[in-house]
Amino acid sequence: MKQTHSFQTEVKQLLQLMIHSLYSNKEIFLRELISNAADACDKLRFESLNNASLLGDDAEFRITVTADAEAKTITVSDNGIGMSEADVIEHLGTIAKSGTKAFLEKLTGDDKKDANLIGQFGVGFYSAFIVADSVTVESRKAGVAENEGVRWVSAGDGEFTVEPISKASRGTDVILHLKEDEKDLLSDWTLRRIVTTYSDHISVPIYMKKAPEYDEEGNVKPSDELEVVNQAQALWQRPKNDISDEQYQTFYRHVSHDYDDALAWTHFRVEGRHEYTGLLYIPKHAPFDLYEREPKHGVQLYVKRVFIMDDAKKLMPSYLRFIRGVIDSSDLPLNVSREILQESRDLDAIRAGSVKKVLSLLEDLKKNQPEKYTEFWQVFGNTLKEGIAEDFSNKEKIAGLCRFASTHNDGSEQNVSLADYIGRMKEGQEKIYYITADSYAAAKNSPHLEIFLKKGVEVLLLTDRVDEWVVNSLPEFDGKALVSVAKGSLDLGNLADEEEKAAQAKTEEDNKELVEQIKTALGDKVEAVRATARLTDSPACLVVGEHDMSQHLARMLEASGA
Ligand code: ADP
Ligand code: MG
């Protein structure tokens, strides 16, 4: 009754790449297997809310990690939800994640970069093959009879076998037959060190063999007793003062699958009408799918410490999709479906509150750790700017967090805030001037800037794709209108002195005939032709009407086929 199946092509590819590029990080296989075991317990805990009989007489969730020096195996066991035969074929033979293909195409062959990408993608179960030359999974789904268990075996070389077995207890055992040169993992100390590194915050107790005791003569007392090796308490529920930075960072790597530390985090408890706890992180670098069509969101939803869902898009707006972490609500109903959650008003309130916390964290970085803020801005500035268009209620706050390039500086670095700009405004200047363009060079060399440069008036140089949407959604900041120097009558308003006003009048007068001739020559192609005293070096420039689309936006829309 043993059947042989073939892995999905993507799995074969991933296996090859992973074994090769994650080798220097091989210990993560334990993180992955323990996190799967914990997920399996979380899932059953959740299911049992509506069907308590699933637990039978085994209601205490636990994970066990043991090594067998003789058999040269490491086993990770859980009494979670378990898998049926169909489940193992699907879950341990394919990659169901959306974007898998796009992800595989991103891999470069550079081990370090790839390792990071693979980590973010979630190496998962298949990481077992980094250290094992053969893996056996024995499982029995919660609620089914003893003889309805299943055994899955593979050497990670393209195929796996599946056969029915009898299994005494519910849940899953993952048995790794270690490669010849991975035997050092069998040492109790090594194994314990790795498990404790990765699992302190796992909320299911993890059992391992007790540390050896010695009798009076100094001989080891043999014992097969097990003990709990982790804190087994959700990290976010512990008081801030009890948590070290290292523990925060370890938890970050767990929720984000990142190899690197987080840049910053905010840990908060909200009380009152809605009660919830959040632990939200800003990564140091962009997730690989930040600009994909359907980027993964990284905030998990828990209700009263029970895991409800991953990738909870409802919890963070799209412009904060790079945030990773956990939100744990005390007042949402436990047995809610995904569909109900999508419509939940309570969730809206939780989201609004959590967004405020993230924005405050950014404010705080900006004020108190400007270097970190710069680091943040370089990676996520572009994404955060989307919030000006997306999040009406926080528009002003987000605008205050933005950084732009400007004529005040020499380089293209985005380091001028709107407040900086306003602080440098000339006497009589009422508006914030900007120009949008495809590139920094195009903006910097635009003839529209000439008069502003001459008068020493600063102009923001906006060259990111999103900037058009930003300025369209932000007519003013702090009571000052944002105005494109490439739009309208080129009126300098109060900035023009008497001399300039006279010069403008004279230019208009002197060129009346010429303007008429040009108008006739161009006909319908233009709306108006004007003489201006504003240009200093260039003979002419194109402007668009006050309320028309900018040339840059028009080009962008054209390029996108709109
Ligand atoms: P992920 O955990 O990101 O879904 P994995 O590769 O780690 O990806 O695991 C793939 C799937 O295999 C899981 O989603 C789960 O359905 C199943 N699985 C793995 N380990 C277990 C386990 N110990 N108990 C039950 N199901 C498991
Ligand atoms: Mg997993």
Give me the pLDDT at residue 551, please.
63
Of the listed ligands, the closest to the CA of 76 is: 1
Q: Does ipTM come in above 0.85?
A: yes
Atom 1 of ligand 1 has which residue's CA nearest to it?
A: 124
pLDDT number for residue 124:
84
Q: Is residue 311 part of an annotated ligand binding site?
A: no
> DSSP code of 142?
T
Residue 210: predicted pLDDT: 86
pLDDT per residue, tens digit, the chain (562 aa), is 899 999 998 888 888 888 877 777 788 899 889 989 999 998 999 889 889 999 999 999 999 999 999 999 999 999 999 999 999 999 999 887 767 777 777 777 777 777 767 766 667 899 999 999 999 999 999 999 999 999 999 999 999 999 999 999 999 999 999 999 999 999 888 999 888 877 777 889 999 998 777 778 878 777 778 999 988 888 999 999 999 999 999 899 888 878 789 999 999 999 988 999 999 999 999 887 787 767 777 899 888 877 777 767 789 999 999 999 999 998 887 766 667 777 788 889 999 999 999 999 999 999 999 999 999 999 999 999 999 999 999 999 999 999 999 999 988 999 999 999 999 998 888 999 999 999 999 999 998 888 888 888 999 999 998 999 899 999 999 999 999 988 765 566 666 667 777 777 777 778 778 778 877 887 777 777 777 766 666 667 666 666 666 666 666 556 555 4
- Mutation test residue for ligand 1: of 125, 138, 139, the one with most atoms within 8 Å of CB: 125
- Which ligand number lies closest to the CA of residue 135? 1
φ, ψ of residue 512 to 5 degrees: the values are -45, -50
Q: Rounded distance, CA 100 to CA 105, Å?
A: 9
The response to whether residue 36 sits with its C-beta less than 6 Å from ligand 1 reads: yes
Q: For residue 402, which of 498, 471, 452 has the smallest C-alpha distance?
A: 471
Alpha-carbon distance 150 to 481, whole Å?
A: 68
On whether the CB atoms of residues 156 and 20 are closer than 8 A, the answer is: no
Q: Nearest bound ligand to CA 137? A: 1
CA distance 483 to 431: 7
| Residue from 34, 39, 46 to probe ligand 1 pocket by mutation (most atoms less than 8 Å from CB) | 39
Give me the pLDDT at residue 350, please: 94
Q: Model's pTM, two decimal places?
A: 0.73
Orientation of helix 111-121 relative to helix 9-21, angle to 10°: 130
pLDDT value of residue 33: 93
Asked if 111 contacts 20 with a C-beta cutoff of 8 angstroms, the reply is yes
Q: Please work out whether the CB of residue 83 comes within 6 Å of at least one atom of ligand 1.
A: yes
Of 277, 281, 278, 320, nearest in space to 297 by CA:
320
Distance, in Å, from the CA atom of 513 to the CA atom of 209, rounded to the nearest integer, reads: 97
**What is residue 212's predicted lDDT score, i.e. its pLDDT?**
74
User: CA-to-CA distance for 511 and 508, rounded, in angstroms?
Assistant: 5
- Sign of torsion over alpha carbons 273, 203, 255, 13: negative
Taken in order 246, 252, 258, 263, is the CA torsion positive or negative?
negative
Residue pair 451/492 in contact (Cβ under 8 Å)? The answer is yes
Kindly state if the Cβ of 381 falls inside 6 Å of ligand 1: no
Q: Which of 250, 253, 29, 316 is nearest to 120 (CA)?
A: 253
Nearest CA to ligand 1 atom 21: 36
pLDDT of residue 562: 47
324-329 and 306-309 strand pairing: unpaired
Phi, then psi, of 306 in degrees rounded to 5: -95, 125
Q: Which 3 state secondary structure label does DSSP give 433?
A: strand
Question: Distance (Å, rounded) from C-alpha 328 to C-alpha 238?
Answer: 12
Residue 331 CA neighbour count, 13 Å, CB half? 13
Q: What pLDDT shows up at residue 458? A: 95
How far are the Cα atoms of 30, 493, 532 from residue 500, in angstroms, in the given order?
74, 11, 10
CA distances from 285 to 74, 236, 369 (A): 34, 23, 17
